[in-house]
Amino acid sequence: MNLFLKKILSKSPLVSADWDLLLKQSHRVEPGMTSAGFGGRNSVNHLDSYGTLVQNLKERLAEVEFGRPLRILDLACGDGHLLYQILQKLPSVDLAVGLDFSDEELALASNTCRAAIQSGRAEFLFGDARQMPFPDAHFGAVTSHMALMLMHPFELVRNEILRVLQPGGVLVALIASQNSEGHYAETLDVLHQFFKANDIDWSPSKQFREARLNSVEGWRELFPLSDFEILEFRKIQFEFAFTAEETWELFRPTYMVAALPPDLKIKCEQTLKAFADSKKPQPGQKFEYPMMMIAGKRKKAAEKSI
């Protein structure tokens, strides 16, 4: 059984290292879990969450003049799905660097971006976002897809983001929204009921999730206005087919589900699929999953008094 789940069941006190272990073990069990869950699920602009992030990054980079080489850092890069798209769609990027603390994900990323690695346009490193192995002002942009809200303590990550960004450099990220509704919210409630029925109380894990990232006010609290300017903060809905299979594909890669032992995971799958089927969706019907898009930049010296 997952060691974090063992502590949850035994009601033992949790520390940050336990949370790290949960994330690592989940990605060991489900490598590629994030792209499997969100890749190909489009929003109203007909782009999935990865394509939406790349498009936003492209627009932000067009607003800033950078010297060469232009380097991009993807925090918690996972299987390299985002960096692959960045390299394909942004030829101006000289080097894309992926940082992750999962060996299994980095192995997938190295395979996904093999040609770019061989040509010198990509590299993947094992490391911690709270203590990055890069010099100051090294990157023109930092990206992150569905990961920042899981990094604890986030203040250390923030310090490192501001340190490695060049003055004028941009941060573009997507995070999970805490404001859910419709079929997604109802299914999430069913999932919580399933955990309760099996004496699993995940509430202690909330201390490791950075809730302030879900509001502009929270970002302003975390990122000092003297160093960082918020350029965009908005909610985006991504569509999933309203079927039992798609419902399970959304929840299967979550850390709460990935941590379950095999027998409980099978029961969880059966429970969520049965609930989706009970809703009797119409053919072609969709349900929405909310994310928050954030874009900001590290201020240049001349802008810090503004």
pLDDT band at 105 (very low <50, low <70, confident <90, very high): very high
Domain shared by 55 and 172, yes or no: yes
pLDDT band at 239 (very low <50, low <70, confident <90, very high): confident
Side-chain-side CA neighbours of residue 213 (13 Å): 29
pLDDT given for residue 182 in this prediction? 82
pLDDT given for residue 71 in this prediction? 96
Query: Is the confidence at residue 45, as pLDDT, over 80?
Result: no
- Structural domain including 257 reads 1-30+180-209+243-280
Please tell me whether residue 74 adopts helix, strand or coil conformation: strand
Q: Is residue 42 part of a domain?
A: no
Question: Quick one: average pLDDT of 206-212?
Answer: 92
Q: From 272, 250, 267, select the one nearest 198 (Cα to Cα).
A: 267
58 exposure class (CB count in 10 Å sphere: 0-12, 13-18, 19+): middle
pTM for this prediction:
0.92
Which residue's structure tokens are 């060996």?
Answer: 103
Domain shared by 191 and 225, yes or no: no
Domain shared by 130 and 167, yes or no: yes
Q: Give the helix/strand (H/E) hosting 91.
A: none
- How many domains does the chain contain in total? 2
pLDDT per position as a tens digit, 158-188: 999 999 999 999 999 999 988 777 888 899 9
Query: Is the confidence at residue 242, as pLDDT, over 60?
Result: yes
Q: Is residue 43 part of a domain?
A: no
Q: From 56, 97, 47, select the one nearest 296 (Cα to Cα).
A: 56
Question: Quick one: average pLDDT of 262-287?
Answer: 90
Query: Is the confidence at residue 2, as pLDDT, over 80?
Result: no
Cβ–Cβ < 8 Å for 234, 293: yes
Domain shared by 65 and 172, yes or no: yes
pLDDT band at 306 (very low <50, low <70, confident <90, very high): low
- DSSP β-ladder status, 71-75 and 228-241: unpaired
- The sheet carrying 95-100 orders its strands as 122-126, 95-100, 71-75, 139-145, 165-176, 286-298, 228-241
Q: Is residue 286 part of a domain?
A: no
Q: Is residue 252 part of a domain?
A: yes
Domain shared by 165 and 218, yes or no: yes
Query: Is the confidence at residue 111, as pLDDT, over 60?
Result: yes
Question: And the tokens for 225?
Answer: 């206005």
Domain shared by 88 and 188, yes or no: no
Q: Is residue 285 part of a domain?
A: no
Domain shared by 11 and 112, yes or no: no
Domain shared by 123 and 204, yes or no: no
183 exposure class (CB count in 10 Å sphere: 0-12, 13-18, 19+): buried
Within the chain, residue ranges assigned H as helices are 3-10, 16-29, 33-38, 49-62, 81-89, 103-112, 114-119, 154-164, 182-197, 216-222, 244-251, 255-258, 262-278
Mean pLDDT estimate for the chain? 91
Query: Is the confidence at residue 302, as pLDDT, over 90?
Result: no
